[in-house]
Structure 1
Amino acid sequence: MNEAANRRTTLLGAWCGIAYIVMLLTGWWLIGGFLPLHEPSADAAEIASFFRDDVVSLRIGMVIVMWAAAVFLPFAATMADFVSRFEGRNGPLTRTMTMAGYANAMLTFYPPLWWLISSWRASERSPELTYLLNDIAWLQFIGGLSLIMPMFAVVAVVALTDSRPERVFPRWLGYQSVMTFLLFLPDQMLFFFKTGPFAWNGVLGFWVPLTVFCTWFIAIFVVMRRSLLTATARKARSGIEEFGAVR
């Protein structure tokens, strides 16, 4: 693949991050109907009724979320490509970013699958079984974040230790990554609370992690896109200058 084609595919990979966020929120909230959020303290009958109502919209939304997991993979590969520029090779930071990105895709894929299963025979099974499936999906979807937090750590290391004139990531992105990492930590308390700010529908259990999660992906997309467009413009100027020198 030539250099121009590589830049185009890398730029496409960067845009996949925005597509991922849009598909995730659209499928889960707007179509799937998960807003307002389920309350962890809700009883089995209430949860079972959710999966018996408007089943078609729920299933369409969850399929969109599952496809969002696939769309995330090129974005993860693009982030890993940028990290490899810092290492100068496919080193441990690059491989960590790749695996953490894959883990995020899996954590995006499997919870909607559990919710699809919950809706599949909701009127035929015991409400307690649907209740269990819903708990599994929520606790994995919101609580399994330890597998993706290395993404933030890797970007922080690259951004804060890169001393070259042309940095891979700006220093401010490193500080944002550290902040994102720290604000994710209280989310793990959702395993201990069914009500309050630490529950899976609480401020610290859901809304703060979701906000910093989306903001971080938008920020790294902006950085990667700007870097790729700058490199393209620089290459174009270089070509013009070379053509002028030949003339």
Structure 2
Amino acid sequence: MLRDTVLSFERAVDRICIRSGLFTVRNWQYCCMLSGALSGLLLLLAMISLGGFPPIPPSWGAEQVYEHYQNHQTGTAAAGSMMIIAGGLWIPWGAVISQQLRLIPNIDPTICNLQLAACAATVFSLMMPGFFFSLIAFRDYGLQVTLFISDISWLIIIGQWPTFWIQGWTIAWAIFSDRSANPMFPKMLGAWNLVSPIIFSFAAGIHTRHHGVWAWNGALAFWCPVAFFGLQTGMEIFCMLRNIKAKHIDGERIIYQVE
């Protein structure tokens, strides 16, 4: 009796899945791209909710930092959850980029693997600040410990440029290596992925500055990387959407065979 019930349920679900036409390659890649967009949006909303866009000044003392988080307790708790979720949502984004790079003729698989590995490493640098901000919301640790947790959180958020650097330059190499008549990605996107990591590296010295453009809330260490990262992500979304919508790049090379 139980076996017949399970088999009937299995057949019913199978018919629904087949008839719905929902579980296709194209729809899955749309979901992965939406996941990346939501990851960036959640990270932005998290920073806003804890009063950290732009980040609180690194020159603040323990009393100012402590008072800030006391005044943003609900926002800090929400920011912790959003950052953790944003980290998880970044994984499908890296996977869909890697898959589209694999469609470049004669691409070295190492390039695709390295891009995906860099994306996976980024996940932890997105999630860890979320756990730290959750700690601030979880319990009153006093002035100095709260200052320590806040400092390490912002250093991780702003200083995580090396993984984006590897990811960007890997994508750029893949794009420049595409010599086909109708390349998967425009060379302009490759150039942007080449330049953006250089801008991201402006944050390399944020642990040495409390004031000015090189501090973690400064023009060069924060605003420039944010602007370039936003434009880079937008360009990647546009190009990948174009690839997903097109079944054929040219008369011979099929992008998505399963529809």
**Structure 1 length-normalised TM:** 0.86
1:105 aligns with 2:105: no
Match in the other structure for 2:14: none
Match in the other structure for 2:24: 5
Which range is displaced more, 32-41 or 200-209? 32-41
Supply the distance in 2 between the matched residues of 1:232 and 1:24 (Cα, whole angstroms): 35
Q: Kindly state the Cα deviation for residue 89 of structure 1 after the two structures are TM-superposed.
A: 7.2
Shift in CA distance, 130/178, structure 1 to aligned 2, threshold 3 Å: same
Ranges in structure 1 where 5+ consecutive residues have no aligned partner: 239-247
Shift in CA distance, 232/64, structure 1 to aligned 2, threshold 3 Å: farther
Contact preservation (8 Å) 2:74, 2:137: no
**215, 218, 225: which is aligned to 2:231?**
215
Q: What amino acid is aligned across from residue 195 of structure 1 in structure 2?
A: H
Greater helix percent: which structure? 1
% identical aligned pairs: 18
Q: What amino acid is aligned across from residue 223 of structure 1 in structure 2?
A: C
Q: What is the number of residues matched between the two proteins? A: 232
Supply the distance in 2 between the matched residues of 1:232 and 1:59 (Cα, whole angstroms): 47
Match in the other structure for 1:165: 181
1:86 partner SS:
coil
CA RMSD of aligned residues (A): 2.4
Match in the other structure for 1:149: 165
Moved over 4 A (4+): 87-90, 232-235
For each residue in 1:33-72, what CA deviation from the matched residue of structure 2 results, as whole angstroms up to 9, or x when unmatched? 2135211110001111122223122211221121111111
Q: Kindly state the Cα deviation for residue 227 of structure 1 after the two structures are TM-superposed.
A: 0.9
For each residue in 1:189-235, what CA deviation from the matched residue of structure 2 results, as whole angstroms up to 9, or x when unmatched? 21221110000000011111111112111110110001111227999
Match in the other structure for 1:245: none
**Structure 2 length-normalised TM:** 0.83
Supply the distance in 1 between the matched residues of 2:81 and 2:134 (Cα, whole angstroms): 8
Match in the other structure for 2:86: 68
**183, 186, 190: which is aligned to 2:199?**
183
1:35 aligns with 2:59: no
Q: Kindly state the Cα deviation for residue 142 of structure 1 after the two structures are TM-superposed.
A: 0.7
Ranges in structure 2 where 5+ consecutive residues have no aligned partner: 1-17, 255-259
